Chains A and B, each alone.
Chain A
Amino acid sequence: MPSHSFTLNGKRVTVEAPADMPLLWVLRDLLDVTGPKYGCGVGACRACTSHLDGDEIQPCVVPVADCAGREVTTIEGLADGDRLHPVQQAWLDCDVAQCGFCQPGQIMATAALLKKTPRPTDADIDRIENVCRCGTYSRIREAIERAAAGR
């Protein structure tokens, strides 16, 4: 079985897995990193959203081989130790979450968005595809605006 090395939340990891194994299952079933959630397996719900070299990805449709030598960041790696990332802090301040299952993905999608677009417009926010079945969208929007404003 091929082995794949990449950086996961700042630490070098090596896993043995089939090259086409989606990163999501490598994270969850082999590395016990469970923040990224399975919601559909086809990149549609985006509950698993994480970062590859700082860009948003859906690990359920990214083969592990594509991550070799690169930096993978999941929700577990977003905060700086106990200091929350500004997007997480905004999520906390706005009490966004309900069931919470989609929120790691929502937060990672927002963090990637703000890196590229520090002052997103309403249209930019509307382009976020992540599904929240609890319907927390208004608080997500409020939290994104709060994080963008640096409050």
Chain B
Amino acid sequence: MARQLSRRQFVVYSLAATTLTVAAPLGCDGSTAQGAEEPADGDRRASDVLVTGTDAEMLVLEVTPANKVVVRLPRVEVGQGVTTAVAMMIAEELDARLADVDIPLADARSEGNQFTGGSSSVSSLYGPARQLAATARAKLVTAAARRWHVPARTLRTRDTRVFAPDGRSATFGSLTRSAARITRPTVPTRPKPASKHRVIGRPTTRIDARDIITGKATYTGDLTVAGAKPTVVARPPTLGGKVVSVDSRAARALPGVHEVVRIDGGVAVVADTFHHAFQARDALRIKWAPGPLANLSDSGIRSRLRAAVPKLQNPPPGSAQTEAEFEFAFVSHAPMEVLTAVADVRAGRAEIWFSSQTPTSAREDIASAIGLPVSKVRIHVVRGGGSFGRRLNHDAALEAALISKKARRPVKLMWSRADDIRHGRMRPASQHRIRASHDRGRVVAFAHAMSSVSESSGKQGLSAQGGVRAAVRAPAAAPLPSDSGLYNFGRLSGDSGSVDLPIPLGAWRSVDSGTVRTAQEIVVDEIARGLGKDPVAFRRTTLRGKAVKAVLDKVASAGKWGRTMPAGHAQGVAVHEEYDSAVACLVEIDAVDPKNPRVTKVVMAADVGTAVNPRGLQAQLMGTAVDGISTILRAGLHIDRGAVRESSFADFHYARQRHAPQHFEAHILPSDRDPGGAGELGVPAAAGAVANAYARATGTKPRRFPLNF
């Protein structure tokens, strides 16, 4: 058992079917696919193994007689481009046309890795997906060789067809039935070496781009499920507030109203249209009891956070100190598509449609809440209109199921934008104290202590529902202050405290790194300034890793670091390493009006190992740049006496076009390593660079984020 296993070998099974259907197991660990590794050598040829009936735990590939390659993906597409990346992996190894590859999202399964998060999708699928397609290709080629009575090694594959040297060709679809009976392919089943890649690594337009721009892309709210009526919920003015009494007579008397049902989070209205539902919601006369935070506002939360920051370690004797304390506000995920779920709960079964990063645990929680066995609950995973971590939780789906059960009818529940912003979830507010100790021009100790709001468990929090359980939580992604460190900063120390509040929180793109590493990058600039060193030069001499130095060099040269800027303008830079990837960001800011700064230019560079779709990766980096701009300069939530002050994009100031850089470029450094993670990677570097540019442009030391709040 102690045998050394190659990371590149993944076992593939054949499923008993009349068409060619092969499957590769996926690991249960969200961070790697190592659970999928089994010996693929020796007597037991993996592709001989027949598995019947189920695609649990599997990535399944089927070649249909219509010449389509269908892979039911146990991940969710929320804009990050995972379906395109997987289609590219499959097309590459099968030599299929990208247009012939379909990637529907798999229904919730009972086991296996169906987790979308922690920037782990591409890295966890890269091995299994390619091995799967390479095995299918070998069987198709073998089937064609038998049909034509020619040696299999003489055949070539291209454009979803097999070609013989004499010019004959056959579509994969025409071979799928005979390929299904091939147990021992006579050509190798190994994936191609990277040098032969023609699809992987080529900038590729999203496979769903045309559907999106023509309005055909379908989100949960666009689904037509028989009888599922528009449903909204009247929610309390404060977080976690409760219904004391409700008079629904006026609401029920309105036209188009079907049901009014009381639920844990408020009062639900089921109506003919969302217009009727909103009108009836507004006609409800509800007496609310204030929620558990009703006496707490930002100032109180902030003083508790300050008090909860653990003491920093004493500095080395004789050293000089650079110290800073940072505050980060709560931030809404605010995906463009508000939380929406269709639920059809019957006496003996239930069916739910929604966009979920964790459908396996959603299924268990929903089954338990409505009192059905898990096997009787079907969850259809639907593409999401953005997520940024929000769809790790399944509050809305659980709520929809409970309403459907109580109303005894299918419902299409939609949270209004105000529901979404005012009732969570949010990135927790946090407080950071950092001390860098230097001696004779070198940093000899770096201490970072922080505190953040934690969601207290307990039944009274409305967010006790639909939480992500530890088992499927993103692997601890953030490099903690106590980690060995990105920089050669001598003795590192770190500690964290928390303020437990019944407030709905959630992992927000890049999770802890979004504040922890951002604060550190600001301090790195301040250390450099204190030592009279240039921020890029200082980083270059103190960073440990080769990859991170290379991305820093790339943005410095491409972004013309150090060029002369007019008064009130400045450049800023920051770097980050996570998910086996490295990123750097250089921004230029116009802060002539410090109350209304504009990031005018962003240059990023990333080394993520093999970049499956460089165009998609650039898009992810672009998104993180705007996240950095938004969270540093403008976008946050206030808590006033237990309620979120903001309620729409009119007051939650996420960046619009006039706040986005007029110029953006992203450089992908070549690499033949296996893919690392990328979706969240850029946030801390972008946020740090924006803050550092602002500091240099205004001569201030930014401490509270967002700055204009």
Contacts and interface: CB of A to CB of B under 8 A. Distances in A.
A90 to B, nearest CB: 9
Interface residues of A, number: 61
Contacts of B216: 35
B648 interface: yes
A28 B383 CA distance: 18
A79 B384 CA distance: 24
What 9 A-B pairs are tightest by C-beta distance, nearest first?
Answer: A35-B215, A135-B626, A99-B79, A101-B385, A137-B660, A100-B212, A75-B215, A138-B664, A98-B79
Interface of A: 1, 17-18, 21-22, 25-26, 28-30, 32, 34-42, 44-45, 47, 74-76, 78-79, 84, 88, 91-92, 95-104, 107, 122, 125-141
B7 interface: no
A125 to B, nearest CB: 6
A133 B388 contact: yes
A17 B272 CA distance: 11
Nearest to B278: A41
Contacts of A131: 336, 649, 654, 656
Interface of B: 78-81, 205-206, 208-219, 221-222, 224, 230, 255, 272-275, 278, 334-338, 383-388, 414, 416-417, 602, 615, 619, 622-627, 648-650, 654-658, 660-664
Given A98-B80, A107-B213, A25 B657 contact: no
A70 to B, nearest CB: 20
Contacts of B206: 95, 97
Nearest to A33: B215
A79 B211 CA distance: 12
B215 A133 contact: no
A28 B690 CA distance: 40
Contacts of A41: 278, 416-417
Given A29-B230, A133-B386, A45 B81 contact: no
B336 A102 contact: yes
A95 B615 contact: yes
Nearest to B627: A135
Contact of B213 (A29, A74, A88, A132): A88
Contact of B212 (A32, A38, A97, A141): A97
B662 A74 contact: no
Contact of B81 (A76, A79, A98, A140): A98
A38 B221 contact: yes
Contacts of B627: 135
A37 to B, nearest CB: 7
A95 B79 CA distance: 12
Given A26-B275, A75-B213, A101-B335, 19 more contacts: A18-B255, A21-B273, A29-B275, A35-B215, A37-B385, A45-B649, A95-B615, A99-B383, A100-B212, A101-B79, A103-B213, A104-B215, A126-B657, A128-B656, A133-B386, A134-B623, A136-B623, A137-B656, A137-B657
